[in-house]
Amino acid sequence: MIVLTVLLLLSFGLTSEALVAYDCAGRSLNITTLSLTGIGECEVPRSDLKSENQFIQLLQLTEYKNTRVIQCKVKVDRTIYYCGMYSHTSVVQGGQREYLMEITSELCNQLHRTGQIQFSANDIITGLRINTTSTRSLTLAGTITLDGRCTGAQYSDPFGTWNNVVVQASVTITLRSFYAPIKLGTSHLILPSGRHCLVTEESCEDAEGEATFWTATVEDNCHFDRYDVLYEGMANKVSPPDSTSGPTMFSLTSQDTTFALTTTSTLPLCGYFLLKTEHPKLFILATSKENTFKSKSKIEVNNLDLLTYVNSKFVYVERHIKTQLTELYANIINQRCALEQQVLRNALALANIQPDELALAIMKQPGYMAVPAGEVVHLVKCVPVECTIRHTQFCYNELPVTVRNTSYFMKPKNRILVRTATPKECNELLPTMYQLHGNWYKMNPKPMESLPPPDIFALFCMFRCVKRCCCCCCCL
C-alpha cells in the first residue's frame, strides 16, 4: 500500500507540472530557407604567416566556477472578441490562446534592470520584482469602456491576424536571478532544474520554459587566485598578416612542455588582456617578464596535466610536433573547416528521409521543423507553449499531452505538437521512455519513474567491446 501511494504521488506530480512543447500550426512563423545542393568550400588562408617569439603565461581556471544567471518567463493568455456594430461582441476562431512570449537577452536584462515591460504605446507593466511571479491584465488591441462600448482594431500575433477586434490578456511574468555552477571541464552550466547548457551559447531554455541568460566569463573578476600558471616563458606566435583573416596560434615544443593553442577573443581583466582559447579553461597572456599576471607557484598535479584536454576540439596536446609551424597553423584551420563540412553533409543526407532529424542536427535544439521542397529545405521556428501529460489507456511512441484543454501528442526529441500518434504495444521489457524535468519515466501507459539509460558510447569504444567480450555492455 505504501509503494502504491508513492507511485500515485509521483504520477500526480509529473502530470500536474508544466512541460514546454512547440506549436507549428501558427500563421506568423519564422521561416529560413537553406539550399540542399551543396556546401561551401573551405578557404584556408595561404598567405605568408608571421612567426615570432613571445613571452607568455599559460593560465588555467579552477575546476568549478559560479556565474550569475537571470531567467525571464512571460506567459500570455489572451482572448479575442470581434467588436461589431453598436458594440456587439462575438467570439472569433482561434480567439483563446495561451503561449510563451519569446524573450531575448536584451529584453530579459531590461526586465531585471527596470522592472517593467512595454507591450504597446499605452500598455506598460511596471513594478516587477526579481525572484517573484506577477500577473497583470491588459488590453492588447482596441478599447473597451465600463459601460460595455468597444472600439475594434487590427491585431497580430504568432497565431494569426484579426481585424476590428478587442484583445484582452492576462500576462504572467516570472523573473529569477541566482548563481549557477559552471563545470569548466565540459563547458556546461548546471541549472537548479538539472538542465545542462553549453557555456559558450550564453543562453538556453530551462525545463519549464524560462529563457535563461548568463555571461560566459565574468569580465570584472580580479581574483587572481582562481588562475594557475601552467607555463611561463617564451613561445612561438604564428598569426596571419591580416588579423581578420584567421586566428593567432601560440605553440611550444620543449623537453617538458608541448602545446599548441589558437586564440578566439580578448578578455580584459583588471588591467590585463587575457587571450581566450578554444578551450574555456585555458587563457594566454602575452606579456613580458616584468609584467606577469601572477607568480608561478606549486599547483596540483591534476591541474598540471595537459593531457586531460586532449579531447578538446581545438587544443593540440602532443609530445612531438614534427611539422613546421606554418603547416600546423594551416592544418588547424583546415581540420576545423572539414569537420564542420562533414557535420553539414550528414545533416543534409537526412533531408528527405527524416526532416525532423535534419532540423535538430542543424539548429541543435528542439522547437524547429524542416520542410523539404525540391532542392531547398525550409526551417520553421515553432512557438513554445505549456502543456501537461495526458493519461491514456494505450501506449504510443509519442507523448500524450494536453494543451489548452485540447488533446495533442508531443513528438520525441524535437518536442513538436501533433494531432496523431503511432500506437505501440505496452511492453514492460521494451517501454516507451521520456526524459522529463531531468528524470526518466516509463509510459506503460501511466508514467512511472525509471533509472536513466546509459548513453551511447563512441564508435571506437563499441568496437573495442566487441573484440574483447562480444558485448557492448562492457563499456558501461
How high is the pLDDT of residue 245?
62
Domain definitions of the chain by residue range: 67-175
Residue found under cell 578554444: 278
How high is the pLDDT of residue 326?
62
d(CA 191, CA 201): 14
pLDDT per residue as tens digits for the range 224-267: 667 778 888 898 888 877 665 677 888 887 777 777 788 888 88
How high is the pLDDT of residue 131?
94
Give the residue among 335, 413, 387 at the shortest CA–CA distance from 15.
Answer: 387
SS3 annotation, the chain: CHHHHHHHHHHHHHHHCCEEEEECCCCCCEEEEEECCCCCCCCCCCCCCEEEEEEEEEEEECCEEEEEEEEEEEEEEEEEEEECHHHCEEEEEEEEEEEECCCCHHHHHHHHHHCCEECCCCCEECCCCCCEEEEEEEEEECEECCCCCEECEEEEECCEEEEEEEEEEEEEEEEEEEEEEEECCCCEEECCCCCEEEHHHCEEECCCCCEEEECCCCCCCCCHHHEEEEEEEEEEEEECCCCCCCCCEEEEECCCCEEEEEEEEEEEECCEEEEEECCCCEEEEECCCCCCCCCCCCCCHHHHCHHHHCCCCCEECCCCCCCCHHHHHHHHHHHHHHHHHHHHHHHHCCCCCCHHHHHHHHHCCCCEEEEEECCEEEEEECEEEEEEECCCCCEECCEEEEECCEEEEECCCCCEEECCCCEECCCCCCCEEEEECCEEEEECCCEEEECCCCCCCCHHHHHHHHHHHCCHHHHC
Question: Please, which residues have CB within 8 angstroms of residue 361's CB and are 6 or more apart in sequence?
Answer: 343, 346, 347, 350
- Is residue 26 classed exposed, middle or buried when 0-12, 13-18 and 19+ CB atoms within 10 A define those classes? middle
d(CA 145, CA 88): 13
How high is the pLDDT of residue 424?
92
Handedness of CA 435, 438, 439, 444 (dihedral sign): negative
- Higher-confidence residue of 62 and 380: namely 380
Q: How confident is the model at residue 16 (pLDDT cuts 50, 70, 90)?
A: low
Q: How confident is the model at residue 157 (pLDDT cuts 50, 70, 90)?
A: confident
d(CA 36, CA 363): 16
pLDDT per residue as tens digits for the range 27-60: 777 888 888 887 777 776 555 667 888 899 888 8
pLDDT per residue as tens digits for the range 325-367: 667 777 788 888 888 788 778 777 777 888 888 888 788 889 8
> φ, ψ for residue 183 (rounded to 5)?
-90, 100
> φ, ψ for residue 268 (rounded to 5)?
-70, 130
Low-confidence winner among 122-136, 193-207, 323-337 (lowest mean pLDDT): 323-337
> φ, ψ for residue 65 (rounded to 5)?
-155, 140
How high is the pLDDT of residue 41?
78
Tell whether the model's pLDDT for residue 87 goes beyond 80.
no
Q: How confident is the model at residue 473 (pLDDT cuts 50, 70, 90)?
A: very low
Q: How confident is the model at residue 6 (pLDDT cuts 50, 70, 90)?
A: very low
**316 in Cβ contact with 259 (< 8 Å):** yes
Prediction pTM value: 0.49
How high is the pLDDT of residue 472?
39
- Higher-confidence residue of 388 and 5: namely 388
Residue found under cell 596571419: 240
Q: How confident is the model at residue 152 (pLDDT cuts 50, 70, 90)?
A: confident
Low-confidence winner among 57-61, 182-186, 207-211 (lowest mean pLDDT): 182-186
How high is the pLDDT of residue 419?
92
Average pLDDT (267-287) is 83
Beta-strand pair 439-443/432-436: antiparallel
Residues in the chain: 476
How high is the pLDDT of residue 208?
84
d(CA 335, CA 345): 15
Mean confidence (pLDDT) of the chain: 79
Q: How confident is the model at residue 212 (pLDDT cuts 50, 70, 90)?
A: very high
